[in-house]
Amino acid sequence: MTHDPGLPLVPRVIDWFAENARDLPWRSPDRTAWGVLVSEVMLQQTPVVRVEPAWRAWMAAWPEPADLAAASTADVLRAWDRLGYPRRALRLQECARTIVERHGGRVPTEEAELLALPGVGSYTAAAVRAFAYGRRSVVLDTNVRRVLARTAAGAALPGPSQTVAEVRLAESLVPADDATAARWAAASMELGALVCTARSPRCDACPVADLCVWRTAGYPPDVHASRRRTQGFAGTDRQVRGRVMALLRSALEPVPLDEVEAAWPDRAQLTRCVDGLVTDGLVTVVPHPGGPDAGPPTYRLPH
């Protein structure tokens, strides 16, 4: 498709999206609001390639909020598997129970009601309104922030924290009518995910390259680079917690203490991480039936 260079940012990105959008199951015509909500929770800090098979399995097991609300917590955590940050799974189940109790099992449409759900913040509420219900909302995730920072502000990357100015800019670009606004939300997000990427932007494939202030300025470097902190995974508490969760997910019976302790060589770090998992409601300690003097406890996923 050819474009008039005079076209503004929004229509051009929407036109690009019509030809380049990925075929994702939560975008299909028969999608449900619950399916969209599940996808948005799963996609937080997790790439699409890992989410898609997990989402399909999840929706097959629990196609409605009531199904997830009635599931055992252990089954929910096993289904979450390696998506990371398993507290999201618990919050999603809490969310499902709240939807059943307060909204008759139907995902609400209004922003205030969505924000009142466990684990739903401003981005997720806006995304559900746009992608599930086709309503006008300001959908501002990392991808959209990056697109707007480059095209409108001339910055290599947005700042570490979202600002009022960013929200105002994003709001000013959202089309007035619901359908076009929802399309823009999806299109701008897709552009950031596929073309205007953080490390290797494909400016040659960008439909608005000639409108991009960052490109016109000669690609100035990231002014926030010194404030960004990237932590490796190896040796972190996240890795330890992940190993313990993987051990418990694979076990049909409670796991003895010595097997848990074998999951990580640093005993102090392991103890801290297991205690944290217990506090977060992700692991249950089962005392020895004969009492503490009779033997050590075992560990399992919550029922």
Residue pLDDT, tens place only, 54-66: 999 999 999 999 9
* Structural element, H or E, at residue 284: strand 284-286
Give the domains, in start order, of the chain with CATH numbers. 9-137+173-196 (1.10.340.30), 237-300 (1.10.10.10)
CA distance 203 to 88: 35
Q: How do strand 255-256 and strand 284-286 relate by DSSP bridges? A: unpaired
For residue 299, which amino acid is it? Y
**Continuous H helices in the chain:** 9-20, 33-42, 48-61, 65-69, 73-80, 87-103, 111-115, 122-131, 142-148, 164-173, 178-194, 213-216, 237-249, 257-261, 267-279
Helix orientation angle between 48-61 and 73-80, rounded to the nearest 10 degrees: 150
CA distance 200 to 233: 22
Q: Which of 54, 55, 36 shows the shortest CA–CA distance to 108?
A: 36
- Tokens 């959209």 appear where? 144
Q: Which is more confident, 1 or 158?
A: 158
Handedness of CA 266, 272, 278, 282 (dihedral sign): negative
Active-site residue flag, 40: yes
CA distance 55 to 265: 34
Q: Considering the candidates 19, 40, 101, 113, report the single residue annotated as catalytic.
A: 40
**Is the pLDDT assigned to residue 1 strictly greater than 60?**
no
Structure-token pair, residue 27 = 């975008």
Residue pLDDT, tens place only, 238-290: 889 999 999 999 888 999 999 999 999 999 999 999 999 999 999 999 998 87
Q: Which is more confident, 292 or 89?
A: 89
* pLDDT (average), residues 104-129: 96
**Is the pLDDT assigned to residue 4 strictly greater than 50?**
no
Burial class (CB in 10 A: 0-12, 13-18, 19+), 230: exposed
CA distance 296 to 286: 9
Residue pLDDT, tens place only, 19-69: 999 999 999 999 999 999 999 999 998 999 999 999 999 999 999 999 999
Q: CB-based contacts of 58: which residues, under 8 Å, 6+ apart?
A: 38, 42, 79
Under the banding of pLDDT at 50, 70 and 90, the label for residue 74 is very high
Q: Are 143 and 194 in contact (CB under 8 A)?
A: no
